[in-house]
Structure 1
Amino acid sequence: MRRTLLLTATLFSSAAFAAPPATLAPLLDSVQQRLDIAPKVALTKWDNHKPVLDAPRERDVIAGAGKLAAEYKVDGALAEQFFAAQIEANKLVQYGLLTQWNAKGAAPDTPRVDLAKEIRPQLDVLQKQLLERLAAFAPSRADPQCPRWVASAIEARKADALQRTALVRATGELCASPS
């Protein structure tokens, strides 16, 4: 009887804390790659005295994701919501860095890259990769363990406080809300 209870408890505890799907890590890797571009964008905006907010570009990116979604078998509304979150997370990093640089009175002395010629093409490639990986992860979005998987995966990553907060924002709506 004791063995049966132990086996039952083990089965329930392993089911309650199931391992994340293999599709989560690649999706988070792509989200992180997009966030890693934020400092370059912030430097460009610092150098050119441009605001972080670029509403027309944001609308174009979100609409573009919605249009490409069907090609990747992703719901258009989900793709738009997901990319809106990516943009908000990216802006969070930019605002955080600009605040740090303003407090110091200078941005880091690192090589600059052209926003239109170098950064945006990288973001366009990542958009397709993110859609592909979002499609692969989509069946797991409704799993009750999804929020735990995402939170644990974020906590396991080596990131500073700003990057961690941005990852949380970027994945905030990744899991489907219970109906």
Structure 2
Amino acid sequence: MHLKKCLVSPLLLILLSASAFAETPKPTAAPASLAPLLQAVSERLAIADQVALTKWDSGKPIQDGPREQQVIANAAQQAATYQLTPEDVSQFLAAQIEANKLVQYALLAKWQAAGKAPTITRPDLVKQIRPALDQLQIRLLQHYAAFAAFRKDPQCPTWLAQERQARNTDSLHDLALVRAVGELCISGH
């Protein structure tokens, strides 16, 4: 008996040692649907700068609960069109809205500290910005639907981190992008 234990242990050690040096599987490339999704999200975040300017000029609060609920409800009603659940669409759009408000609050604080906002042309919130956001929402939902099958992939967080890093713009918009897609990947826990 004792002899068998001695023979098995070195063999087991050799096998364990060999597996320790085995090559770990290389991550697969991100699905092609991720880049256009993050591009659309980034475009929406860029529009937040324009919204902040209109809020600065008008003195209106950033928080617009009725408008936010309307946007989310309209998107949720379209969920079936994109073969998504209303809950997923609502959560995704709510994240976009929160990320946009993050940008707006930060910019307003910066301008308040400086005592002025940039002197650039301001688009009209109702006539120009909201229609642009409505059109962008269609693309957002299309790209979200195209990526939806990959949300549970174990590599999703890695893909997302790489794609976010590739889009690195400025710290404010990077943070807002993290907020906008923070719940995009679904963990298997």
Question: What's 1:31 paired with?
Answer: 41
Name structure 2 gaps, 5 residues minimum: 1-17
Residue of structure 1 equivalent to 2:103: 93
- Note the 1:2-21 alignment, pairs <5 A: 9-10=22-23, 12-14=24-26, 17-21=27-31
Alpha-carbon distance, 1:158 to partner: 2.9
Matches of 1:99 and 1:151 in 2, distance apart?
A: 28
Task: Name the counterpart of 2:177.
Answer: 167
What's the counterpart of residue 106 of structure 1? 116
Q: Deviations over 1:100-149 (max 9, x none)?
A: 00000000001011000000000000111011000000000000110111
SS in 1 for 2:153: coil
Post-superposition offset of 1:13: 2.5
CA drift of 1:177 comes to 2.6
Q: TM-score, normalised by structure 2?
A: 0.87
In 2, the alpha carbon distance for the partners of 1:105 and 1:94 equals 16
CA shift digits 1:18-66 (9 cap, x unpaired): 1111100000000001001001100000000011100000000111110
SS at match of 1:21: coil
Q: Which amino acid aligns with 1:58?
A: E
For 2:32, the aligned partner's letter is A
Q: Aligned-pair distance for 1:157? A: 1.2
Unpaired stretches in structure 1, ≥5 consecutive residues: none
Counterpart AA for 2:62:
V
Aligned pairs, number: 171
TM-score of the superposed pair, with normalisation by structure 1: 0.92
- Give 1:9 deviation, angstroms: 4.3
SS of equivalent to 2:25 = helix
Residue identity (%): 55
- Mapped to 1, the partners of 2:74 and 2:157 lie a distance apart of 27
Query: Residue 158 in 1 paired to residue 168 in 2?
Result: yes
Counterpart residue type for residue 54 of structure 1: D
Aligned to 2:153: 143
1:109-148 to 2 correspondences below 5 Å: 109-148=119-158
Where 1:37 maps in the other structure, the secondary structure is helix
What's the RMSD between the two structures over aligned residues?
A: 1.5
Instruction: Measure the CA separation in 2 of the matches of 1:151 and 1:9.
Output: 26
Which of 73, 76, 94 aligns to 2:86? It is 76
Q: Return the index of the structure with the highest Cα Rg.
A: 2
